[in-house]
Amino acid sequence: MTLNELRKIAESATPGEWEDRAWQESRFYSEQEQLDCKYVAAFSPTRILAMLRVIEAAVEMRESRGAEFEAFDKAIEEMK
């Protein structure tokens, strides 16, 4: 999935922050389902769009300063 695909999905979802309401009905949800609800609420469209902006800014900076990042790229490659 590309960043543009993620952006389209986030932009088409209900805007704003999402709430985790599983705790209100916890007797109906398993522990894993409650954790899943927290995960979904944490990754609201607002947060995804903000994270995409940070990623895109980092990519743009990386592309505009290519030579400056060669040492960084080498260090990352050595850690793999």
DSSP per residue, 6-69: HHHHHHHSPPS-----GGGGGGGS-HHHHHHHHHHHHT-HHHHHHHHHHHHHHHHHHHHTGGGG
Give the pTM.
Answer: 0.66
Domain range summary for the chain, segments of one domain joined by +:
3-79
pLDDT tens profile 3-51: 899 999 999 998 888 888 766 766 788 888 888 888 888 889 999 999 9
pLDDT tens profile 28-38: 888 888 888 88
